[in-house]
Structure 1
Amino acid sequence: MASSQRSRSSTLFCAFLTLLNDRLSESLIFPLLPFLLASFSNDGRIIGLLAGSYALAQFGFTPLIGALSDHYGRKPVIAGCVAGSVLGLGLFALTLSIDWASVAWVSGSSLPLGLLFLGRLIDGVSGGTAATASAVLADITPPERRAKAFGLIGVAFGLGFILGPAMGGLLGRINVMLPLLIAVAIAVLNLLLVVGVLPETHPPQARLPLPRKRDLQPFSPLARVLRDPRVRRLCSAFFLFFLGFSGFTAVLVLYFKQAFDWGPGLAGAAFLVVGVVATVVQGGLIGPLVKRLGEWRLSLAGLGFVIAGCLLIAVAAPATAKVLVFSGVALLALGTGLVTPCLRALVSRRLNDAGQGAALGSLQGLQSLAGFIGPPLAGLVYETISWKSPFWLGITLMAGVVLLVAGGLPGQAGPRAEVT
């Protein structure tokens, strides 16, 4: 009995660390990206493409990773994914640490940027760690206790969003490369624990055959869910929301750096505010608010907060930047913390049990696709129109989302049907 308890505890710890590493590596590096790339490029289009490349790789390979874990087991897939994260982050760090100006045959070439993109793509391809670690939790937990076990996912993600910017901002003041090296070290520790401690939780008798190749390509499920009249409007709203949100957040730190001359400390502090507010909303407030107001009203309220946050950031001037920007990012975090779970819940409530998995999986696909398109689009308008244009574009897209959600759900009279 004691041995079984120890095994469960070690499995929970490995799954938790894997989930934490998945968020921490991103939240450590993302607020520092323009500072890390300063010697390579300050072009918003390059930063947008670099931010979007991770989402593109994740979008293309997540279905395959899920199928591999069902067929071969969780441990080898998680180990492979974390090893890919170590390789991708390591290549990214190595590329940034080399003095390319002293390498004569590389001078003026695009090789360093190519290696940075390769590192991000490798990290994105192996980005199925969160889904597979969640499957580990489901494997070792009875159905009636899974909600509590899945709470670890929210705790790990919230902790990652709080610790990452805090550590990145603090360590970035010492040396901008230090947070990246810490991210690599955490990934290596994660890999060692997965290989040495994590047991296999998916027994051979429960393994599934590999699906056909055409069932693994990511576009067919998206097309099916967007054709479904019950959820078409809401899924379109979900996609547009993340198209705008991923876009203006991708250029946010570059905007802070160029418009207000902020360094890593202030940029990291802004993202720390995002992490704290989002954790409080999704960890404690969302349940009581849904019971009181319902998902429909909360979605609209959250969209209002996001629009207000974008507006504050767009109108900020150097003299008012700290007050307006920190207020703006707090509103963005509050709004996103309301919109994301509420839109997912509205989609879920429109479907019967048989359609839940496919539809909710398609929402993740739509989010990843938006995460690929949004950052390069924002980078393009940032460079060709104005530094503030990604925020105005975001406001426009959010207004479109409001119209889709506020128009009522297909087949229903209006918001009353959605209030719990």
Structure 2
Amino acid sequence: MQRPRIPTLLSAFLTLLNDRLSESIFLPLLPFLLEDFSSNGSTVGLLSGTYALSQFAVAPLIGALSDRFGRKPVISLCVFGSVIGMGLFATTLTVPWQQVWPEAAAAGLPLAMLFMARIIDGASGGTAATATAVLADITTPENRAKAFGLIGVAFGLGFVLGPGLGGVLGDVNRILPAWAATAFAVANLIVVLGLLPETHPITARKQLPRRRELNPVTLLARVFAKPEVRRLSIAFFGFFMAFNGFTTVLVLYLRNSFNWTEGMAGAAFALVGVIAMVVQGGLIGPLVQRFGELRLTLVGLGLLTSGCLLVPLATPTNSIPVVYTAVSLLALGTGLVTPCLRALVSRRLGSDGQGSALGGLQGLQSLGTFLGASAAGFSYDRIGVTSPFWFGSMMLVGVALLVGGSIRNRPQANQA
């Protein structure tokens, strides 16, 4: 089967980039975009986490469909869903509801449409796994790691471009980033339909698994059924719950407490992306060789805890230097913890358990993102505006204890 490499790589790269942009472009904008509908932290947290929850629910099904029917139809359908979701989100924000249909605005219809848009976009966000499968299809095992480098580049670039673009365009017009994300999704769909060849031959197609195998909870149960990675898996879940919790309410806190604008918030999140991309793209390899995954994980958790504790100490006169210092610590920390904690789990498993366990970790990440964002929004409203940062710090300390305890409790044979 002929597989032109450049069109295939371009299609996979744009799909991965679109997957990240559709989520990250709204990180500095949600509190501003929701001003006309709801300004409380619970709504911001739930809307922010809806994307991850939808992705968690459908990811196993999308992977199975790509194995059964091929990569191109599944990616095309997912990107089309992203176009619909982003278009609905942008349209809902554009309509002057109070003028054209005030009854609907009073009944909460625009807010319901925003949630539906994020559900559609999140359910279509299983493109990352299918695009990764495309890269695996067109490369030999010895060259696969190099091809998979595109995933890190696309995700890192998306986390830099998304908040930065959202902040810059949001300063011009708050709704403009939503239409920009929609336009990028349309361009992605055109490239996939026009350039992406089918990379999964008919002879390699698989039957759809049983319904139980498509249940995302099943993947989580398989992870926790492995005693050698159970504590680390709980730590992985807790890390993403804490991190996504306080980052979800960060912009709301900065806007309400210090009158930060979309551009200022976007620049802060873009800085996080740049630092994390440098750490994971260039520094993590030499650092792991020098210090090992365990030490780097604990150091990263310490940096995250310090950054989280620093945010509530900001005042109106020093908010810019304090917050930028805090997000730099957060970026360094997450750049160390994310790959090293995954590696610690991977080292505990034999070759037969890698696929299901690492897939389960992805599910834990999505579920932790949703629960962390929702809990932080609730805490912001009911307990205090700085409470998500204090609770996040305590959770990170608990994660560090889990990681350290899991290493100390290893069987002697595994320590070697």
Instruction: Output the TM-score relative to the length of structure 1.
Output: 0.96
Shift of 1:4: 5.8
Contact in 2 for aligned 1:162/1:272 (Cα 8 Å): yes
Work out whether 1:38 is the aligned partner of 2:35.
yes
Shift of 1:413: 6.8
Which residue matches 2:86? 89
Deviation larger for 11-20 or 222-231: 222-231
Shift of 1:410: 6.4
Contact in 2 for aligned 1:27/1:160 (Cα 8 Å): yes
Letter in 2 for 1:210: L
1:153-177 Cα deviation digits (max 9, x unpaired): 1111111111122221211111111
Q: Equivalent residues in 2 for 1:327-346 (5 A)?
A: 327-346=325-344
1:226-260 Cα deviation digits (max 9, x unpaired): 13210011001001111111111111111111111
Contact in 1 for aligned 2:231/2:406 (Cα 8 Å): no
Distance 2:296 2:91 in 1: 45
Q: Equivalent residues in 2 for 1:71-86 (5 A)?
A: 71-86=68-83
Distance 2:310 2:236 in 1: 23
Distance 2:135 2:49 in 1: 29
Work out whether 1:226 is the aligned partner of 2:224.
yes
Distance 1:164 1:52 in 2: 17
Which residue matches 1:11? 8
Contact in 2 for aligned 1:230/1:410 (Cα 8 Å): no
Q: Equivalent residues in 2 for 1:176-187 (5 A)?
A: 176-187=174-185
Letter in 2 for 1:230: E
Distance 1:256 1:284 in 2: 31
Which residue matches 2:109? 111
4+ residue runs over 2 A deviation:
408-414
Letter in 1 for 2:107: S
Which residue matches 1:49? 46
Shift of 1:224: 2.3
Match for residue 173 of structure 1 among 150, 171, 174: 171
Q: Number of residues paired by the alignment?
A: 414
Distance 2:273 2:253 in 1: 19
Letter in 1 for 2:18: N
Distance 1:231 1:112 in 2: 43
Shift of 1:105: 3.3
1:21-66 Cα deviation digits (max 9, x unpaired): 1112222222111111111111100010101111111111000000
The secondary structure found in structure 2 opposite 1:83 is: helix
Which residue matches 1:129? 127
Distance 1:357 1:413 in 2: 23
Match for residue 25 of structure 2 among 23, 28, 36: 28
Work out whether 1:303 is the aligned partner of 2:301.
yes
Q: Equivalent residues in 2 for 1:2-401 (5 A)?
A: 7-102=4-99, 103-401=101-399
Shift of 1:83: 0.5
Give unpaired runs (5+ residues) of structure 2. Answer: none
Letter in 2 for 1:318: P
Distance 1:382 1:417 in 2: 42
Letter in 1 for 2:78: C
Contact in 2 for aligned 1:85/1:126 (Cα 8 Å): yes
Contact in 2 for aligned 1:229/1:410 (Cα 8 Å): no
Contact in 2 for aligned 1:88/1:120 (Cα 8 Å): yes
Deviation larger for 395-404 or 219-228: 219-228
1:348-379 Cα deviation digits (max 9, x unpaired): 11010000001000000111111111111000
Letter in 2 for 1:213: R
Contact in 1 for aligned 2:232/2:406 (Cα 8 Å): no
Contact in 2 for aligned 1:240/1:370 (Cα 8 Å): yes
Distance 1:271 1:183 in 2: 17
Distance 1:172 1:327 in 2: 23
Distance 1:162 1:309 in 2: 19
The secondary structure found in structure 1 opposite 2:28 is: helix
Contact in 1 for aligned 2:222/2:356 (Cα 8 Å): no
Contact in 2 for aligned 1:222/1:366 (Cα 8 Å): yes
The secondary structure found in structure 2 opposite 1:108 is: helix
Distance 2:105 2:26 in 1: 26
Structure 1 residues 107, 59: closer, same or farther in 2, change over 3 A? Answer: closer
Shift of 1:107: 3.9
RMSD: 1.5
Letter in 2 for 1:26: E
Shift of 1:417: 3.9
Shift of 1:412: 2.5
Contact in 1 for aligned 2:17/2:157 (Cα 8 Å): yes
Instruction: Output the TM-score relative to the length of structure 2.
Output: 0.97
Distance 2:49 2:407 in 1: 31
